[in-house]
């Protein structure tokens, strides 16, 4: 049997067969409650504060009365009551020669009692107990961002089976079940609406604060709130495969993964603790050999043990990473590891795919220039295009969707590489490119060139002898694209590159509208990959933003791959290092700011922890280091770095 602990997610994974009772017995979890991962946190009866902290309260009472009556017995009682859990773990670790924070504290407090410093030992015990309570509260606050996501998903749903309505547990719901969702209820499973319409609050998945309208054929996600209408939803994913389940799993895995700065701290702490123990031994033994006063220098050595505890240093990075990844998830950004979070803030250049990233990814009719006197020409064109399989046909049909008139098309045929033709009411029409027409007047050709310069695809409509209209279709630039590029430039990312397989004219038009610094057009997927490698050599750390499907090689080549449209898109969740769940570029500057603030706070925490400990250790030279100062340098700093990391919760999109 093996076990793995995820500190950030507060999760224990056990490999093997064991009951909860056996795990509780084996683990000595200090009043923590284990429960199965797929179940919600049980509603445990809340202990009154006086009962939960009764030992700590009694310890404090004995400490105060000990000072009032100058009684070492009362100080000893304070030490035993306040330090019971500490000694239980510390002595066990000491027996196994495992030197962690609790081992060092246990040795220091027992040593203080041996040399007669009962009052200081009692104060250290109580301050340590208080700091552990506050530290636990702070870490719970950091973890709550994921716990709140888990609690949003209902554990059961109302299902229709064989004509009967049944309340079924989420894990027992199968693909194809029909789920009934009433107004005000949370949606329990991913699915497609087959009846009804409503506004759905998708904040848990995408970070959107404004509810979105959903109707028949639209997809809905588990953990989202049905606000208004009654919905019938056909289930499309099992409980373990829902988008929110994947998000929770990926975020928990990300919180468990150690960032580069945390790996450095762990390596440092591995050598730091033995060095501190050696320094404490030298302080306790060497000076009294020359100066005498064994008790004073043993006391100083014990204080060195306390001040040297590496807990503030060790916790400085994970608390910041856990908090930042949780905050990002709540705002609709999935970061798959601390390493990507750190890398993002150091990017020097970002490349963008065009279609579906800087543009909406759906072609629309931008211009319709009618040279004829036929007011119903657009509807006739739409009727012809409805017979076509061309990707741009849908844009024209959508443009004419509000017209109810129907036209019968006869003699329809597709002309490969040129367009389509067909007859309506005895008139032969042609729609396509310039190859379909023998002559094009100069003024119309000028208009065609202007539209093409703007990055639009132009389709000509006419008969064998006359040109009747021009239709310009384009993939529109997202409203946010230009402002996002401007924000990135202000953030110091001066190299923004557009990568596209489209033609040079279209790429240049999109580039002008968005404000990117350079353009690379007519690229195949392998060309994008090679270009990412090239700019990586040129600029250092580079990022790539794409749709997570066609851009997979380029996303993989980037230091940080960022996928658009993560909600419900398995490919985006699997291939990218970071997924923007709402298909929203505006999340990118926020995530970069979050990354940079996280890096700043990690550096602040590590520097602060080391500097304060060094200053405290220097107090040994004049003999001024006391256990009071030592406990502040250790436990006080642990609390300060934890609270500093929690400041990341305040950063909003």
Residue with tokens 């989420």: 170
Could you tell me which of 493, 526, 450, 515 has the C-alpha nearest to residue 596?
A: 493
Yes or no: say if 493 and 541 are a contact pair by the CB < 8 Å rule: no
How many helical (H) and strand (E) elements, i.e. helices and strands, does the chain have? 25, 24
Yes or no: say if 124 and 130 are a contact pair by the CB < 8 Å rule: no
* Sign of the alpha-carbon torsion through 371, 376, 382, 383: negative
Structure tokens, 295: 């008790």
Could you tell me which of 458, 463, 426 has the C-alpha nearest to residue 444?
A: 458
Structure tokens, 619: 């107090």
C-alpha to C-alpha distance for 138 and 418, rounded to whole angstroms: 66
Yes or no: say if 431 and 420 are a contact pair by the CB < 8 Å rule: yes
Starting at the earlier edge strand, list the strands of the sheet with 410-415.
Answer: 359-370, 467-477, 457-462, 427-432, 419-424, 410-415
Burial bucket for residue 232 (CB in 10 Å: 0-12, 13-18, 19+): middle
Phi, psi of 18 (to 5 degrees): -160, 140
Beta-bridge partners for 333: 580
Residue with tokens 């409509």: 461
Q: What angle do CA 10, 15, 18 make, to 5 degrees?
A: 90
How is 335-367 classified by DSSP, letter by letter?
Answer: E--HHHHHHHTT-SEEEEEIIIIIEEEEEEEEE
Structure tokens, 290: 């020359």
Residues annotated as part of the active site = 353
Instruction: Kindly state the DSSP code that residue 625 receives in the 8-state scheme.
Output: -
Structure tokens, 285: 């033994």
Yes or no: say if 601 and 609 are a contact pair by the CB < 8 Å rule: no
Beta-bridge partners for 471: 368, 459
Instruction: Kindly state the DSSP code that residue 650 receives in the 8-state scheme.
Output: G
Helical ranges in 239-392 per DSSP H: 243-256, 260-291, 294-307, 311-315, 318-330, 338-344, 377-385
C-alpha to C-alpha distance for 643 and 141, rounded to whole angstroms: 10
* Sign of the alpha-carbon torsion through 257, 8, 560, 592: negative
Could you tell me which of 588, 579, 537, 538 has the C-alpha nearest to residue 555?
A: 579
In this structure, the chain runs to a length of 653
Q: Which residues does 85 contact at the CB level (< 8 Å), separation at least 6?
A: 30
Residue with tokens 């490999």: 15
């Amino acid at each position: 049997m093996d076990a793995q602990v995820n500190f950030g997610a507060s999760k224990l994974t056990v490999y093997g067969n064991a009951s909860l009772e056996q795990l509780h017995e084996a683990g000595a979890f200090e009043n923590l409650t284990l429960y199965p991962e797929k179940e919600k946190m049980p509603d445990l009866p809340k202990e009154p504060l006086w009962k939960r902290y009764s030992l700590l309260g009694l310890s404090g009472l004995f400490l105060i009365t000990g000072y009032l009556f100058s009684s070492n017995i009362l100080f000893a009682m304070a030490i035993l009551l306040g330090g019971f859990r500490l000694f239980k773990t510390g002595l066990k670790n000491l027996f196994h020669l495992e030197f962690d924070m609790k081992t060092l504290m246990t040795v220091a407090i027992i040593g203080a009692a041996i040399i007669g410093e009962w009052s200081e030992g009692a104060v250290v015990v109580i301050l340590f107990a208080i700091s552990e309570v506050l530290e636990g509260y702070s870490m719970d606050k950091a973890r709550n961002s994921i716990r709140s996501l888990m609690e949003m998903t209902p554990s059961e749903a109302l299902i229709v089976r064989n004509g009967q309505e049944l309340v079924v547990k989420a894990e027992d719901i199968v693909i194809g079940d029909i789920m009934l969702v009433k107004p005000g209820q949370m949606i329990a499973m991913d699915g497609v609406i087959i009846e009804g319409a409503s506004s759905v609050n998708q904040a848990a998945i995408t970070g959107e604060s404004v509810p979105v309208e959903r109707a028949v054929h639209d997809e809905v996600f588990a953990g989202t709130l049905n606000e208004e209408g009654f919905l019938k939803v056909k289930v499309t994913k099992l409980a373990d495969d829902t988008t929110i389940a994947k998000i929770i799993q990926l975020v928990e895995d990300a919180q468990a993964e150690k960032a580069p700065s945390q790996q450095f701290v762990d390596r440092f702490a591995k050598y730091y603790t033995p060095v501190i123990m050696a320094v404490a031994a030298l302080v306790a033994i060497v000076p009294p050999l020359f100066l005498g006063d064994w008790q004073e220098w043993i006391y100083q050595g014990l204080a060195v043990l306390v001040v040297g505890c590496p807990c503030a240093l060790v916790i400085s990075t994970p608390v910041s990473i856990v908090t930042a990844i949780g905050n990002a998830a709540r705002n609709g950004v999935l970061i798959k590891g601390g390493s990507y979070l750190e890398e993002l803030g150091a990017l020097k250049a970002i490349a963008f795919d065009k279609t579906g990233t800087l543009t909406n990814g759906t072609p629309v009719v931008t211009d319709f220039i009618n040279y004829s006197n036929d007011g119903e020409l657009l509807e006739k064109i739409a009727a012809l295009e409805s017979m076509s399989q061309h990707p741009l046909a849908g844009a024209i049909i959508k443009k004419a969707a509000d017209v109810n008139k129907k036209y019968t098309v006869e003699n329809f045929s597709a002309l490969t590489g040129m367009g389509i033709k067909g007859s309506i009411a005895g008139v032969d029409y042609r729609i396509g490119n310039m190859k379909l027409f023998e002559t094009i007047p100069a003024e119309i050709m000028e208009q065609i060139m202007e539209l093409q310069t703007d990055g639009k695809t132009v389709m000509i409509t006419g008969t064998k002898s006359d040109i009747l209209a021009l239709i310009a279709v384009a993939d529109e630039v997202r409203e946010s694209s230009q402002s996002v590029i401007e924000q990135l430039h202000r953030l110091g990312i001066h190299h923004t590159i557009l990568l596209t397989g489209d033609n040079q004219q279209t790429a240049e038009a999109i580039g002008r509208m968005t404000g990117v610094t350079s353009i690379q057009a007519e690229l195949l997927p392998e060309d994008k990959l090679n270009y990412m490698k090239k700019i990586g050599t040129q600029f250092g750390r580079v990022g790539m933003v794409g749709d997570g499907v066609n851009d997979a090689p380029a996303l993989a080549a980037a230091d940080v791959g960022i996928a658009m449209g993560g909600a419900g898109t398995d490919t985006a969740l699997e291939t990218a290092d970071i997924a923007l769940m709402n298909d929203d570029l505006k999340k990118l500057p926020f995530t970069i700011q979050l990354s940079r603030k996280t890096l700043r706070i990690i550096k602040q925490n590590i520097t602060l922890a080391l500097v304060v400990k060094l200053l405290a250790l220097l107090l040994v030279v004049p003999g001024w280091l006391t256990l009071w100062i030592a406990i502040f340098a250790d436990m006080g700093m642990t609390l300060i770095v934890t609270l500093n990391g929690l400041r990341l919760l305040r950063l909003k999109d």
